[in-house]
Structure 1
Amino acid sequence: MPRNKFHGLKRPKLRQSWSKYNLFNLTKVSTPSAANKTFFQQKWLAKSMTRGYHNPQIKEKHWTRMFDRRMPSVVPMDFRYLAQNDGSEMALGRGSGLDGGEDGRARRKQKTPYMNMAFHPLERRLDTAIWRALFASSTKQARQFVVHGAVKVNGKKMVYPGYQLNPGDMFSVEADKVMYATGAKKRRKDSPKSIQDIKDLREERRALAREQQQEMEEQEDSDAGAATLESDEEREAMSGKPEDHADPKVALKGLMMRAQKILDDSKRKLSGKRQQELRQFSRSIKKTMSKLRGIEEGNVEDTIDGLESGLAEILTKIPQDELPKEVKLDSAAAAEQRDQATSEPEEPQSSEPAVSRQTGKVDEYRARKDAELLHAALARANENPIDTSKPYATPWRPREFMSAFAFIPRYLEVNQNICSAVYLRHPVARPGLAEVPSPFHGETLGLAFNWYLRRR
């Protein structure tokens, strides 16, 4: 077992672990070059790489006794195909592995990756099966669980990590051990918060500081724009519509001033989402003004029309009582124009205006969604409470960098609710698929297999 640097970053060393360093090494691994190496050197390098990943806790002498040159595989047998054919079609292509398709032409079969099964005896080990079932974050941790008596096989405690599972065996791990292994790391023993929670809190604070700084910059820009609003040209842009002006810069300034005025006058009453939309609208206008010279003359009017329709759409989402007086008429007119443009059948008229009815529907929908979200949050809090006595951070959340390794092989049936799994059968190779998970290329695994084949 390696004792120095378990995860080498300069020379990637892959391990059966969920570590972030291992994830980094997975992105760097490649098939070693064979240009300046003899066949012996190629086999030795492949053996070194693959043994470093496939359970390096086992001594090499022990593994050579476990090695088996017979690699299990299966051939799919279709009873319909066997009933319709007598085997003569296998002679197509002079024995080159071709069989006739539906159109009568030869079709090449998928190759079976036999060499990927070189380390299949290790998949029967109990510690490897626990790691494959996502009950531990590494094979070393799974080995520790077995030695400490937290694992049962067929209802009996098993303390031997090298126990060879047979088809049908069920193994289970204590739930607290699994939640400790797969959950976020705890920051302190007397605190329920995890290291990830602290990182997220710092990111939220940084994002809030950036947002406040951005708001201050926008406020300074709006103050500067309000100070220069005394000119007759910009007063005209503020009162009229953008399409009435020949100068596109004046029209864009007018749009920005209208959005800023709505935001300043209704800041306390508007929801945070509407404020964000208005701020984003102001930013888009600023970007358009900065790129105004690069836009062609024919596309300037389309750009201004798009911005105007975007502002009108935002205004329809805001209740009319919360809008400034100058903007109420414009938003109502824009809503009326959109209603006329649509080809839907007219609804029966009522005494209430259309904008107020739409606002009432939005408010009811928002209240119902908020109630559903609150109910779901309370249910999650009851199922996953905060408990400082637990060895893992509460409320429980998955460990970092887990998603890249979260897969379960076909020969295991796992139930995460009771932390148990069944070893269904031994892994096999099929056409185009090998059931022993490995990050290495087939050539590397083939060279490693040849190394142990020669030495036996």
Structure 2
Amino acid sequence: MRDANLFNFKRALPRMSWNPKNLYNLWRRSVGAKVSATDYTRTTKTLFQQRWAAKQLVRAYHGDYINEKSFKRWYLPANLPDVRPASSAKDDLLLLTKWANKTSAVEKEIKRREEEASKGLAPVGSLMFSEVERRIDVVIFRSCLAHSVYEARRMVVHGNVLLNGRKHQDANTRLAPGDMVTVDPKAISFLRPRTAKADPDEEVDRDVVPSKDVSPSIAEDGSSTGQIPFHIPDYAAPFIFIPAYLEVSFQTCSAVYLRHPTARPGYSEVPTPYDADGEVVRLAWEWYAKVRPRMRSKRQLSRMPENRQ
């Protein structure tokens, strides 16, 4: 959930935003001073503390505005393949088999492991957030039609978004393959002419109220050109990408949700600031695997956010 210290430099938690402060926090977590905080090879933290810190990092980026109880109940997949590295128990079993003079079985197992290592494993850990990526507000942000997921959420709530041609104001809706989302161009902040220079200390995410008395055909210099002005926010280049599961048309300010995100060896379609199958994601999944709700009554099912499958 949003708060006054959303881009706090001390915590340095990356968010779904093009804000320059967020870019600085992302740099600190990637290559800056905060990299050592997620290196658990030599640490005094307990396993519980490592999982808690990893959960805090991934939740700050993936749906920080979603209530934690709702996230655990509705936005976690039922199960995932094992995201932990291979345990030493298999190596011990291989060694015992070798001692039992079963050389052919040992050679077969070694060959199988070499083939598996050459192909690589899909980063399935990132698929923990595939349900969050289906949300209509996240789809609008991924389509580069809003400079933050918070602005995209306000667009939906304020009635500036159409779902399959009809006004839709539920930002919790999860899309189905083939759904088309259309955003009113007047609600997109960087498609409006600049009237005054913004305060550099002001959060960009809060400057999202459209100006109704300004014609979209007026260029930045005030001359009528017949073209819609386009003013991309500063420092937005690192965030301008479109995932493979979306088809975006900037001429019509619309996007089609093609399919659910997937992962293959060496590649994940779920954008995340962390290694898609790294230690942070693994520890976060281990945390949620232990604390997620086990029972879902009919009363709880009736409260489930709209899921279009």
Both structures adopt the same fold (TM-score exceeding 0.5): yes
Q: Deviations over 1:325-356 (max 9, x none)?
A: xxxxxxxxxxxxxxxxxxxxxxxxxxxxxxxx
Letter paired with 2:138: T
Query: Which runs of structure 2 are paired with 1:7-406 in the superposition (5 Å)?
Result: 7-29=7-29, 30=35, 32-34=38-40, 35-66=43-74, 67-71=76-80, 93-98=110-115, 108-178=118-188, 180=189, 182=190, 186-188=194-196, 194-195=197-198, 385-386=219-220, 395-406=229-240
Once the two structures are superposed, residues 216-246 of structure 1 have per-residue CA deviations (whole angstroms, 9 ceiling, x without a partner) of xxxxxxxxxxxxxxxxxxxxxxxxxxxxxxx
Tell me the percent identity: 37
Match of 1:96, SS state, is helix
Structure 2 letter corresponding to 1:65: R
> Which of residues 398, 416, 431 is equivalent to 2:265?
431
Aligned counterparts of 1:387 and 1:33: Cα–Cα separation in 2: 50
- What's the CA shift string for 1:81-110, capped at 9, x where partnerless? xxxxxxxxxx573421517xxxxxxx8112
The answer to whether the aligner puts 1:455 opposite 2:291 as a matched pair is: yes
- By relative contact order (CA 8 Å, sep 6+), the higher-ranking structure is 1
Checking the alignment, whether the CA contact within 8 Å between 1:154 and 1:171 is kept in structure 2 is: yes
**Paired letter, 1:439:** P
Q: Deviations over 1:133-173 (max 9, x none)?
A: 00111111000000000001111111000111000111100
Q: How many pairs are equivalent?
A: 236
User: Against the structure 1 CA distance between its residues 155 and 71, is the aligned structure 2 distance closer, same or farther, given a 3 Å change threshold?
Assistant: farther
Following superposition, the deviation at residue 195 of structure 1 comes to 4.5
Letter aligned with residue 133 of structure 1? S
CA displacement at 1:24 relative to structure 2: 0.6
Is the 8 Å Cα contact of residues 122 and 265 (structure 2) preserved in structure 1? yes
> How far apart, CA to CA, are the structure 1 residues paired with 2:167 and 2:290?
39
Query: 1:183, CA displacement in angstroms?
Result: 5.1
Code of the residue aligned with 2:254 in structure 1: it is: S
Deviations 1:49-86 (A, max 9, x none): 111111211100110012114349xxxxxxxxxxxxxx
- Contact kept, 8 Å, 1:184 with 1:399, in 2: the verdict is no
Structure-2 residue corresponding to 1:443: 279
Specify whether residues 24 and 420 from structure 1 end up closer, same or farther in structure 2 by C-alpha distance, changes over 3 A only.
Answer: same
1:130 to partner: Cα distance: 0.4
Distance 1:148 1:424 in 2: 25
Structure 2 CA distance for aligned equivalents of residues 22 and 160 of structure 1: 26
State the TM-score, normalizing by the size of structure 2. 0.70
After superposition, the C-alpha distances for 1:400-442 in whole angstroms (9 at most, x for unaligned) are 1111100000000001111011000000111111110000132
Structure 1: how far apart are the matches of 2:14 and 2:151? 16
SS class of match (2:113): coil
Please give the alpha-carbon distance, in whole angstroms, between the structure 1 residues aligned to 2:141 and 2:121.
29
Structure showing greater Rg: 1
Letter in 2 for 1:454: K
| C-alpha deviation, 1:175, in angstroms | 1.2
Residue 116 of structure 1: how far off its partner (Å): 1.8
Letter in 2 for 1:68: P
Aligned residue number for residue 409 of structure 1: 243
Shift of residue 397, structure 1, vs aligned partner: 2.2
Residue 94 of structure 2: aligned partner? none
- In 2, Cα distance between equivalents of 1:184 and 1:398: 10
Q: CA deviation at 1:455?
A: 1.0
In structure 1, how many angstroms separate the alpha carbons of the residues matched to 2:164 and 2:221?
31
Residue in structure 2 matched with residue 330 of structure 1 by the alignment: none
Q: Which amino acid aligns with 2:77?
A: D
Contact 1:185 1:195 in 2 (8 A): no
| Gap runs ≥5 in structure 1 | 73-90, 100-106, 189-193, 197-381, 389-393
What CA distance in whole angstroms lies between the structure 1 residues aligned with 2:12 and 2:44?
A: 20
The whole-number CA distance in structure 2 between the counterparts of 1:36 and 1:184 is 51
Residue type of the partner of 1:141?
A: E
2:58 counterpart letter in structure 1: T
- Structure 2 unaligned runs (5+)? 30-34, 82-107, 200-215, 223-227, 293-309
Give the TM-score normalised by structure 1.
Answer: 0.48
**Cα distance in 2, alignment partners of residues 46 and 92 from structure 1:** 34
CA distance in 1, matches of 2:25, 2:50: 21
Aligned counterparts of 2:78 and 2:266: Cα–Cα separation in 1: 20
C-alpha contact 1:69 1:453 (8 A) present in aligned 2: no
More helix by share: 1
SS of the residue 1:98 aligns to: helix
The amino acid that maps onto 2:134 is R
Q: How many Å separate the matches in 2 of 1:455 and 1:92?
A: 35
Work out the CA distance in 2 between the residues paired with 1:115 and 1:95.
23
| In structure 2, C-alpha distance between the alignment counterparts of 1:386 and 1:3, rounded to whole Å | 33
